[in-house]
Chain A
Amino acid sequence: MENNFLSLIIFAPLFGAIINWLFGKKANNEVFSATVACASVGVSCVVAFMIAFGLGTPHAGALFMPEGKPVLDHLWTWIEVGNFRADFGLAMDRLSGIYALFVTFVGLLIHIFAAGYMHGDKGYYRFFAYMNLFMFSMLTLVLADNLLLMFVGWEGVGLCSYLLIGYYLKWDTARRAAKKAFVMNRIGDWGVIMGILLVFTLTGSISFFDKVIDGVKIESALRIISEMPAEPFTVGAIFAGGITSAAVLLFIGATGKSAQIPLFTWLPDAMAGPTPVSALIHAATMVTAGVYMVVRCNGIYQNAPTAMFIVALIGCATAIFAATIGLAQNDIKKVLAYSTVSQLGYMFLACGVGAFIAAIFHVMTHAFFKALLFLGSGSVIHGMHHEQDMRRMGGLKKYMPVTFATMVTGWLAIAGVPIFAGFFSKDEILYKTFIASNLPANWNYVLWGIGLVTAVLTAVYMTRMMVMTFWGQERFNLEIPGEEHDSPFEEHHESHDFKPHESPAVMTIPLIVLAILSTFGGLVGVPYALSSLVGLKDINVFEHTLEPVIVKVKASEKHAANYHSAVIHHESGSLVENTSEGFQKVAEPRNDEHGKLETKIETTEFGKAETHSATGHHGHSPEEIKTERLLALTSVILAVFGIGIGWVLFQKEPLRKMPKVLEKKWYVDEIYNGFIVDPITNLSRKVLWQGFDLGFVDGIVNGAGNFVVALGAVVRRIQVGFVRSYAAFILLGALIVIGYFIYYGLKLIG
């Protein structure tokens, strides 16, 4: 189905960016810049809604297309060499439709908020040009119909992130943070490029969808891979150059963009950017791009059980790791940043256990409540005249009632209090982890347990943040020993008659809208186990919408599980031995026909077996419903428990000393600098450049040169310019080489 208006969604913000870029400075008018920026995103938003829901379009809405078929818009063929082809083509299917909807809508709200927040800033037009450029990139990423165009958006958002983190040009912290973010993302991008290359090698295509362009039939790479037999669960599969390798490579990219271990340290630093940027890019949209990619490529991941396990492990580890750091931060934005890292970990955990829909559900609810919390913190910072340190806040609820009230909904949502949006999505992830069958034995319980502990920690640190900011004594002029002034703003509040103030309506209205979404947004995905409690039928609209997006990999799930259970039960859990065995098997050359044949037979055997997909196709069996309800109850109790702990610990003593190691973020930055960055720099400078280039090679060259000069001194007697000595050179050298050839020729004859 073609719809040429699709490209309007991405080009409207690009147009806005260009207008602001070209005329913004001359116009020097905040209203002009803000209007252009908000209007262009507004156009995107309206068009996205129209196409997604089929309002005024000749076809059904993208969210309702049968079998999840996409609405396409082919613009031009970008690169075509040999059998490789990458189009500039857009596609909106159910997944990208949902993404486009919340990206444009939340984006619009944040743009409106920023119009107030950035008031008075010298680079107002520049800010909005970057923001619009970001929207263009993000929407390209989401709506791309092939991997390479997705990568264009992927890099584009990285660039805008770089520009916006470094927005306060004169501030050292910002420029360092910007570079760090870009470089860390680049490390991840390496994985994405390699992943794309491998996918192309495996399938001969990089397209997401089957389509026909100008009479040329293009096959979907994802479909081809999903029709391949699943790979075994072994360490060797990672390095075998097959589906698992592709999945792992792509995931490396996801760890960069979505700030997972080990590439997460850029995100907290990225808070040096203006707060609306943190809300839009570093909470709601860009950082979830990794999740989007994994879900988009779920056909690949479902056939790569090893990669799935890695995704789950990394996600889970990141979730708890970041949560512990979040406990001890004093900068309000840093708390939220680590919270974002932690929540992203949840999303990957969901992907890793095959709950792709739950992951996207959490992406969406998280976009609502985290954007709200960030904008709320922005409102606080604005009202506090650029103060970000929570130790100098306290008692703000009476000065900023709207901000306070809205942030409370965000707080309850992220903590997992029922009815609020975050509860349903987080609960879904924990439940799916608990019942996951694609992991080694008992790992589902381990991951679930860690996830649960993380949920408690989340409630604790969020309560700490709320308490420190809004309750208790006013500590506006608190002296903090050993603290240096580190802020892009010269004017820092020093006066003693300082009063915080509520933000203007242009800022509070987006807050209110987001608060409503954070409160009720989760109701689109209420699972049957819970809706049946109040006598409702299956109202899980979200899941049913996305179901066609998740590839039903026939038998693969079973295959992996069976293979795996054979491994586990046979050797009573001696995983290591079996893995090494698998390693040998997979480490053989890729084109081993024999091996291929073997796997094929295996698949057909299991192919007959009962099909069961990881996507949670539940027939609402009473037992499952019971488990789900029990788990939900557990997490509710723990959420309330966490809030209670937070309240008890910090209500009386908001400045309670936290463990140093947490405050210092487990010293990860120091470790990276000490063990990676500095050694590479020193190696490059001392050994490679000064040692090899200047010392060794040039030593030889200069030695030879001196010899020539000495030689030249002799020749110079006969008055020779350089050109002539060069001619002599040619002659000499040519004679030597010709001499060799003559010698060689004589040898052949003789």
Chain B
Amino acid sequence: MKENLLTILILLPVVGAIALLGHHLFWKRESHLKWISLGFVSLEFLVSLLLLSDAKPSANGFYFEKNLRWIEAIGANYHIGVDGLSLWLVLLTTFIMPITIVSTWHAIEKRHAAFYVFLLLLESAMIGTFVSLDLLLFYLFFEASLVPMFFLIGVWGSDNRIYSAVKFFIYTALGSLLMLAAILALYFIHADATGIRTFDYVTILNSMRLGNLVLTAQTGALLFWAFAIAFSIKVPLFPVHTWLPDAHTDAPTAGSVILAAILLKMGTYGLMRFNFMLFPEASREYAYVFIILALIGITYGALVAMVQPDMKRLVAYSSVAHMGFVVLGMFSFTEQGMQGALYQMLNHGVSTGALFLLVGFIYERRHTRLISEFGGLANVMPVYATIFVITAMSSIGLPFLNGFVGEFLIMLGMWQSAAVAHPWITTMIAGTGVIFAAVYLLWMIQRVFFGKVTNPENEKLLDLNWREVGLIAPLVFLMVFMGVYPSPFLNRSKEAVVSIQQRVIGGEKGGAIADFIKSEEVISQLENR
């Protein structure tokens, strides 16, 4: 059971998808489909909670690890496992899915079976991505997540869905193409150096740790960039973010929620797991590029969000700003910054996911998302307004709501970072994002909720029903809980994050001292040999 837990988590949604198809073929009762999917994703969530049960990590530092030969001829393994980095992302995925399914209750008007099949397959792919410890396996899951999303946007999306879906697809596919090339290159380089042909992440990493595989600076940089570009597009980092507003805007609510809450995290997760661990020298060398781009993303995303006429597009641009914060924290290479980054990934999933749900609620009622169409909604929909304000505050980073903890830790880490020459200036610029976040969200709230009801179509809007309150309530609870008591989350991720941090600053071998110059000397010595 223990070592098969992750496999169960990956396969359960697939089983669900098959069950859906079977049910659809034999009974053709569309109203059953959502219940079946809900059953499967809820079961999935419950099973995933077992991940929290105390288990001893394997020698590699992973929990629930499983390693099987897969394609022996090329040395591809079915190697999966979780650690503090992926644990919460897996749980976030399984937690968000039931909420997403409930949010679609009345929203889907065509092809129910296909819709839910895609959702379930998507879940499977996302979990697979987070737990894969084999590069080829990771790549497959990473790509597999693309296809259901493409169809979710392209088939069930709104007005401009084809354009948005294709844009999303081309952007991310181009990025992952580079990654595939880099994975193949790494595979061959590793085989040359050690004689072992394997895609196994842990094996390759250990070869590097033991000095059996030493990348030249140039190779390391090339591979680093190939991975980094793929992940940056996914994050998305400025300037390759322009697929995101379109994809978000045209995706159905469920798609937007999953996109924001989980898919984007694959990028930041990948950067931490693969770029930092496999190419620490290049990560350090090019950290400044990412920090600068993250800074631009933070201010740029916020400024552009401010002038958006469409609520969903506004939230999408705010995602660019928030994910900029995550990237900034990661590249600070400090424990606080990286812990904050991981925490902020979860926060963003919860808060932005909730914001998209909320926009979805009003879209279902009015079939428009234009801010100018609304005004005075607080008078007719007080519950909705209240929840919206709480969620916005969490996104703004109000203390005692989740966003603050992450942002603060990121800024704390950045301020003390050695990754750039003037960390405090960097932090100060990043801090302005906090100001702008208040501007764009409050301005939207002011225009949508306050004032008199000017548009007669809004006069008879119904407030949230029990289903809607019920599905947003867990998110609101998490916002408060994660803001007031973050220790359970931070403690679990600590070990993994610290080990990544030690690796990326080169402190792994020479004790825990973060000394860049020293490690660079070591590397140059190794290279000369």
Contact = CB atoms under 8 A, between A and B. Distances in A.
A530 interface: no
A680 B303 contact: yes
B307 to A, nearest CB: 4
Nearest to A249: B428
Contact of B180 (A171, A685, A734): A734
A182 B441 CA distance: 11
Contacts of B476: none
Interface stretch (A518-526, A545-553, A701-709): A701-709
Contacts of B439: 183, 186
Contacts of B393: 159
A84 B336 contact: yes
A190 B431 contact: yes
B416 interface: yes
Contacts of B334: 82
A133 to B, nearest CB: 12
Contact of A730 (B177, B242, B398, B408): B177
Interface in A348-386: none
A32 interface: no
A190 B407 CA distance: 12
A84 B307 contact: no
Contact of B405 (A79, A186, A201, A705): A79
Interface residues of B, number: 72
Contacts of B434: 186, 189-190, 193
Interface stretch (A36-44, A147-155, A275-283): A147-155
Interface in A661-701: 680-681, 683-685, 688-689, 693, 697-698, 701
A729 B180 CA distance: 12
Contact of B185 (A175, A186, A681, A741): A741
B384 interface: no
A733 B177 contact: yes
Nearest to B320: A693
Given A81-B336, A194-B427, A693 B304 contact: yes
Contacts of B451: 169-172, 175
A227 B485 CA distance: 33
Contacts of B303: 680, 683-684, 688
A683 B303 CA distance: 9
Contact of A723 (B147, B181, B222): B147
Given A684-B307, A738-B184, A178 B446 contact: yes
Contacts of A236: none
Contact of A738 (B170, B185, B308): B185
Contacts of A79: 405, 408-409, 486-487, 490
Contacts of B167: 701, 705
B226 interface: yes
A200 interface: yes
B173 A156 contact: no
B340 interface: yes
B242 A698 contact: yes
B399 interface: yes
Contacts of A723: 147
A194 B399 contact: no
A689 B307 contact: yes
Contacts of B308: 689
**Of residues A166, A738, A741, which shows the largest number of chain B Cβ atoms within 10 Å of its Cβ?**
A741
Contact of A170 (B376, B400, B408, B424): B376
A80 B490 contact: yes
Contacts of B250: none
A152 B399 CA distance: 5
B428 A179 contact: no
B91 interface: no
B395 to A, nearest CB: 13
A579 B443 CA distance: 42
B331 interface: no
Contacts of B61: none
B398 A729 contact: no
Contact of A241 (B181, B184, B424): B424
A563 interface: no
Interface in B276-303: 300, 303
Contacts of B239: 697
A169 B427 contact: no
Contact of B169 (A193, A726, A738): A726
A708 B487 contact: no
Interface string B368-406: 000000001011000000000000010000111000110
30 contacts: A80-B490, A81-B336, A81-B340, A84-B412, A148-B399, A156-B398, A156-B400, A162-B442, A169-B378, A172-B451, A178-B446, A186-B434, A187-B435, A194-B424, A197-B424, A241-B424, A681-B307, A684-B307, A688-B303, A693-B242, A697-B239, A704-B170, A722-B150, A722-B166, A722-B169, A733-B178, A737-B177, A737-B178, A738-B185, A744-B222
Interface of A: 76-82, 84, 88, 148, 151-152, 155-156, 159, 162, 166, 169-172, 174-176, 178-179, 182-183, 186-187, 189-190, 193-194, 197-198, 200-201, 241, 680-681, 683-685, 688-689, 693, 697-698, 701, 704-705, 708, 722-723, 726, 729-730, 733-734, 737-738, 741, 744
The 3 closest A-B CB pairs, nearest first, are A737-B181, A175-B450, A733-B177
Interface of B: 147, 150, 166-167, 169-171, 173-174, 177-178, 180-182, 184-185, 188, 222, 226, 239-240, 242-243, 245, 300, 303-304, 306-308, 334-336, 339-340, 376, 378-379, 393, 398-400, 404-405, 408-409, 411-412, 415-416, 424, 427-428, 431-432, 434-435, 438-439, 442-443, 446, 449-452, 484-487, 490, 494
